[in-house]
Amino acid sequence: MRMITTVSERGRSVATFRYICVWMMETIARWTPITPEMEAKVMMGRHIWEYAQMADALGKRTFELRLPEQHSIAPVAAYEAFLKDIVKTSSTADKIAIFYDGVVPGIIARFKAYIAATDEILDEPSIVALQRAIVDLERQRIDAAQLQRELKLSSGVAPAAAEREKSIPEIVTVEKVAA
Amino acid sequence: MNIEEIGFYKVAEFILREPPARDECFKVVSRDADAHEYGNFSEIARREMIHRHMANEMTSVDMAAVCVAEFPDAPWGLRMELARQAWEESRHVPALYRRVKE
């Protein structure tokens, strides 16, 4: 990833990450009432709140980066289509696998790439918010793996989703400049 | 199943949501009058009471989650509260489950 040097780029990246955190919150919330397994519901209920906190922290940061507070920017069309397809996943086993093994690792990688590419002093608040999100996301993957073992959930859908996620190199849209 | 497929039903003037998905091991009833009552404080009566309480908490997780999912234009502060409620209710479920097992 190339270095991120302007406030505008930081703002657009953080607002895009916020969009993804809100998407994670809404997706897991959407799946909760249609998932029959009690253990899965309990895990999802906990994670909904964690995604809300991630989005909130990033949304406070967008204001510091000269955008409105709690501002989100949709990612590039290919990534948005990818996220929309994930929501359609049907069984509990596929949902847990595609989300926590297919999508979340890619999001963690994008957050880490941003941290490596931005200025550690000038953009420290973004880094702190993303580092906290990474800790939660990595722990959630452990939660999901434990659930998969407990409920004997088996699914092969994650690798294809992870590959599709990786095939989209850049998710932040380019700022339109008025002619 | 999609969330949109959870339908609605009417009781008097109220429009209510159909029940969320549940494990097959549960017998789902909609009214207290339909729930089994032992009428005493025997071990099985207390177990039923805690189990019913646990089922209520599980439904509260579902309700908070539905509100987060279906009202994307709600003020962000309210969405945060609903997300927090989903967490709160999901903490209550294992607490009661532990008590049921005791």
pLDDT tens, N- to C-terminus, chain B (102 residues):
777 778 888 889 998 888 899 998 888 887 778 888 888 889 889 888 888 888 889 999 999 999 999 999 999 999 999 999 999 999 998 888 888 888
Enter the ipTM. 0.92
CA A9 vs. chain centroid, Å, equals 18
Return the structure tokens found at A54: 């991630």
Query: Which of B8, B16, B23 to mutate to probe the A interface, most A CBs <10 Å?
Result: B23
CA–CA separation, A86 and B32 (whole Å)? 38
User: Is A32 within 8 Å of B58 when comparing Cβ atoms?
Assistant: no
Closest by Cβ to A33, choosing from B23, B65, B72: B65
**Beta strands of B1-102 (E only): which ranges?**
8-11, 14-17
Residue A167 one-letter amino acid: S
User: CA distances (Å), B37 to each of A157, B34, B49, B52, B60, in order?
Assistant: 45, 9, 9, 11, 22
The DSSP output letter for B4 is: G
DSSP bridge pairs for B53: none
**Beta strands of chain A (E only): which ranges?**
none
Q: Taking the model in full, what pTM does it have?
A: 0.93
User: Is B20 within 8 Å of A48 when comparing Cβ atoms?
Assistant: no
Q: Please write the tens of the pLDDT for every residue from A16-46.
A: 999 999 999 999 999 999 999 999 999 999 9
Q: Which residues of B touch A46 (CB under 8 A)?
A: 86-87, 90-91
Q: Which residues of B touch A44 (CB under 8 A)?
A: 61, 65, 86, 90
- Classify residue B4 by burial, with Cβ atoms within 10 Å: 0-12, 13-18, 19+: exposed
Q: Which residue of A has its CA nearest to B75?
A: A70
Cα four-point dihedral sign A60, A62, A66, A72: negative
